[in-house]
Structures are given as structure tokens and as C-alpha cells.
Amino acid sequence: MNWKLKASLQKLLHFTKIGDTLNHIPATLKKDYHKNVCLYQAYECLRKFEEIEIETESRNPKKALEIGTGYSLISSVILHLLGFDKVVTVDISKDVSIKTFRKQIQHIDSGDFLERIALQSTFSLTEIKEKVQQLQSFQTLEEVFDFCNIVYIPNYTLSDIEKESTSFDYICSQVVFEHISPVFLVQLFAKMKSWLPENGVAVHTINFIDHFANPGFFQDKNISEFNFLKYSDETWKYWAGNDIAYTNRLSYVYYLELCETNNLTVIDFKGENYRIHNPLSVSEIHSDIIKKYKKLQNVEDLCKYQRGTLIFKH
Ligand SMILES: C[S@@+](CC[C@H](N)C(=O)[O-])C[C@H]1O[C@@H](n2cnc3c(N)ncnc32)[C@H](O)[C@@H]1O
């Protein structure tokens, strides 16, 4: 489907109160949707955590912050199972439900996830299995939150987070930063600098591609995954300047600049290309895109990676 058609549909949906929910429905109709979300969330949460080395003995008591909960509570629950005493998870919208949680948590014991969690956790495998059994029996979100000491803050502000804590040993996000405006990213990175204690670590997975090229019924198969870099800010605002479609069109270079500005120490950045790579030529990239960077040495870098994991500490 031509991306402008999807963009027009999303613009229409954005004017309805339940636009975000309606936009999410096509994805949920896929076979094994809840099982796949559970396994993907568990895999990604563990993969990010395994990137860092924290001695389990020195991890108690510790707090974790997840930015951008989305529709699934699986990552927050995994953080609890890894041994965090308190998990704060925040989003600009309120999308979690016990119905979805119950459908997803029943798949958490597939594969070797529980064994992998136990290897990193302050809990033993037996304790983790007992916890999972209890989690699978809960009928309300309050039971889940109390049991795991999860604080879920939808429609959050930065001061809501600070009411819970001003120090987080681990801060993570999964494909969220690309949906955040540069103005808020600047504030968030400054806060992360202040929230991370000396031994604290942040691990963020960021998707850098044009979401109109994402797979699915609405995918535009005729565009490069970096198509959105061709347009001026004004044109892009016209097509995708609404809460459903918004992406900031920033590459990994921008996040590295944010770390540098805030004096955050980058431990690693792992860039990936997970699908056929169709970078734009330098002349196709709009000058408004290039202007977003303080010191961009190679314009080609803007299309270098489709996704990446940024790991930094105080
Ligand atoms: C692609 S979803 C990812 C959700 C979840 N992390 C996952 O992996 O399924 C992006 C999420 O980022 C949230 N989001 C957008 N702007 C945000 C912000 N400023 N702070 C926190 N979350 C935000 C959206 O509401 C949405 O839930």
C-alpha cells in the first residue's frame, strides 16, 4: 500500500478518541499474536539485560525504570524476575490490560527463558517458577503490580517518575525513543544523567527506519526504509505529525550526540541491519534532516543502521 494512504488513515484515526487502539487492532489479529509478543518482549528484555554486567550480589536492593510500556507488561515482569525490587514503567498512553497480560504470561515458560532469567537473577530457578505460577493465576492488574512491586504510570510526566525515585540502577526502553520529539529527548537524557547512580546502566533499543516501510498489511514495499529522510520537516509534519504516526527521523548519531552533551559515558552502541538494506544516496537526504545534527561528519551515517542498542552509564 502506498505510504501516503496509510498516513492519511492514521491522520483520520488520530482525530478519534480511540485512534491509537484502532490502529493497533490489525497487529493483534495475527495468528499467535500474544504468544509472539510475550516471547519477543521476554527475549528483548533479557537480551538488553545480558548486555550489561551487574554482579547479582551487589544488585540488592535495586530499582529499574522502563520508558514506554506499550501494550505489554512482560518486560516489567521480567525485570522483577531478574531481581529488581521496584520497577517503574511509564508511557504517554494507557494501554495495558489484565486481559492481554493473562493471554501473554501463559507463554513465559516456553523455551529456556526461565533458565536464562535464573542465570542473571537474585532468585533461584525454583523461586522464579513459583513466581510465574502465581503470576499466571492473577485476575487483576493490581495483583500483578503488588506482587512484582511494579509502578505503572500512564500519561506520565518527568516529575511523576521523580515522585517514585530520583535514582534508577537500570533504565531501559524498547523501540520507544524514535517516537519521542527531540525537545523531550533533550529533557529525558538530562534526567537520565541525574537518575543513573555511579554503577547504573541504561540500555535502549531504537528503531531508525521509516515506519511506513514496516512489514504488515499496510507496508509500502516500494520505498526505501529510509524514505522519510527525503522530506522537509514541514512536509513530514503534514503526513506524520500526529501521535499515531509520529517518528522523529533521527539516526544513531543524534543519540550519541545527546550522550556527549549530557556527559553520559557510552559503553557501546550496537548497530544492526535486520532486513534488506536500501540506504538513500546523500543527495536524496533533505537538508532539514542534516540540520538536526551538531557535527555530522558523514551524511551516509544517517542510513547506516536500521536499528541499534545504545548502552551508557553515568
Ligand atoms: C512501538 S511502541 C513500543 C512499546 C513497547 N516498548 C514494546 O516494545 O512493545 C512505542 C511506545 O512508546 C510510547 N511513547 C511515545 N512517546 C513516549 C514518551 N515520550 N515517553 C514514553 N513512552 C512514549 C508509545 O505510547 C508506545 O507505547
Taken in order of first residue, the domains within the chain and their CATH numbers are: 3-313 (3.40.50.150)
CB of 45 shorter than 6 A to ligand 1 = no
CB of 93 shorter than 6 A to ligand 1 = yes
pLDDT of 74 above 90: yes
pLDDT of 305 above 70: yes
Ligand 1, atom 6, lies closest to the CA of 174
**What pLDDT, in 10s, does the model give residues 118-164?**
999 999 999 999 999 999 999 999 999 999 999 999 999 999 999 99
CB 254 within 8 A of CB 208: no
Q: What is the pLDDT of residue 57?
A: 56
Q: What is the pLDDT of residue 295?
A: 87
Atom index in ligand 1 nearest the CA of residue 207 equals: 1
CA of 110 to the centre of ligand 1 (A): 26
Q: If pLDDT is split at 50, 70 and 90, which confidence band does 173 have?
A: very high
- In sequence order, the 6+-apart residues with CB closer than 8 A to the CB of 174 are 41, 44, 45, 48, 68, 70, 75, 205
Hey, which of 28, 76, 92 would you mutate to test ligand 1's pocket, going by the most ligand atoms within 8 Å of its Cβ? 92
CA of 308 to the centre of ligand 1 (A): 16
pTM of the model: 0.94
Average pLDDT, the chain: 93
Long-range CB contacts (within 8 A, 24+) of 136-143: 136/102, 136/105, 136/106, 136/108, 138/98, 138/101, 138/102, 139/98, 139/102, 140/98, 141/73, 141/96, 141/97, 141/98, 141/101
Ligand 1, atom 10, lies closest to the CA of 176
CB of 20 shorter than 6 A to ligand 1 = no
Evaluate the omega torsion of the peptide bond into residue 182 and state whether it is cis, within 30 degrees of 0: no
Q: If pLDDT is split at 50, 70 and 90, which confidence band does 54 have?
A: low
CA of 84 to the centre of ligand 1 (A): 21
**What pLDDT, in 10s, does the model give residues 19-52?**
667 666 776 777 789 999 999 999 999 999 998 8
CB 81 within 8 A of CB 117: yes
Q: What is the pLDDT of residue 11?
A: 86
Chain centroid to Cα 60, Å, comes to: 25
For residues 8 and 86, the model is more confident at 86
pLDDT of 56 above 90: no
pLDDT of 59 above 60: no
* Residue 208 DSSP symbol: -
**What pLDDT, in 10s, does the model give residues 96-130?**
999 999 999 999 998 888 999 999 999 999 999 99
